[in-house]
Amino acid sequence: MMENSYKKRMQRKKEHIDSRIEEANIDKGIVVLLTGNGKGKSSSAMGMICRALGYEMKVALVRFLKGEQQTGEDLFLDSNPNVVSAHMESGFTWNTQDQELDKKLANETWLEAEKFLADPEINLVVLDEITYMINYNYLDEKSILKALSNRPEGQHVVITGRAATEGIIEASDTVSEVKDVKHAFRANIRAQKGIDL
């Protein structure tokens, strides 16, 4: 009796999911926003890069906050011919403590990002930690929204960073908020290779 009830419930669920899949008939480039104060936003974006590369897609990775320490994904992606990148050279703003330099370098990096967002050959653009640049007033949000709106039709974009603005949320097709419940760093565990670096 239980087995029969379970089977009927799963059949109803399958019918519902199949109908939703059939209704989803639009193909277009989407904007995915990964925000919130939890760990894993950039890591999730790296996973989407791997997914795109698995389909031989061309990817652009733009990092707006980058420390001097090279990460495992840098080591892995640097040699991939389908990846182009631009990195804000100043690293973490709390290390440089030079607002004008950070602003200048953020704008230089954004110019590279704009080129990627205008290139129909690039299938996926990742704008890693760009929300900070908007919140610090280093970059003009209107310019970013314009570039997102004018990008090639099939191009996908992933945006990461805490405290996304309403404008960026509104421009995104998918928004996920990563919540911080517990973090090893608060227990004095340093960043670990393969997990944090």
Look up tokens 């790296």; give the residue: 46
- Residue of 9, 147, 154, 135 whose CA lies nearest to 65: 135
Model pTM score: 0.89
As a whole number of angstroms, the distance between CA 82 and CA 57 comes to 7
Structure tokens at 46: 């790296």
As a whole number of angstroms, the distance between CA 72 and CA 178 comes to 22
- What pLDDT score was predicted for residue 157? 98
In sequence order, the β-bridge partners of residue 59 are: 83, 124
- What pLDDT score was predicted for residue 84? 96
- What pLDDT score was predicted for residue 24? 82
Residues present in the chain in total: 197
As a whole number of angstroms, the distance between CA 110 and CA 118 comes to 12
First to last CA, the chain: 52
As a whole number of angstroms, the distance between CA 68 and CA 82 comes to 24
DSSP letter string, the chain: -HHHHHHHHHHHHHHHHHHHHHH-------EEEEESSSTTHHHHHHHHHHHHHHTT--EEEEESS--SSPPHHHHHHTT-TTEEEEE-TT--HHHH--HHHHHHHHHHHHHHHHHHHT-TT--EEEEETHHHHHHTTSS-HHHHHHHHHHS-TT-EEEEE-SS--HHHHHH-SEEEE---S--GGGGTPPP-TTTT-
3-state secondary structure 17-38: HHHHHHHCCCCCCCEEEEECCC
Reading the chain (197 residues) residue by residue, the pLDDT tens digits are 567 888 889 999 999 888 888 888 889 999 999 999 999 999 999 999 999 999 999 999 999 986 666 778 888 898 899 999 999 876 655 666 788 888 999 999 999 999 999 999 999 999 999 999 999 999 999 999 999 999 999 999 999 999 999 999 999 999 999 998 898 877 888 888 877 77
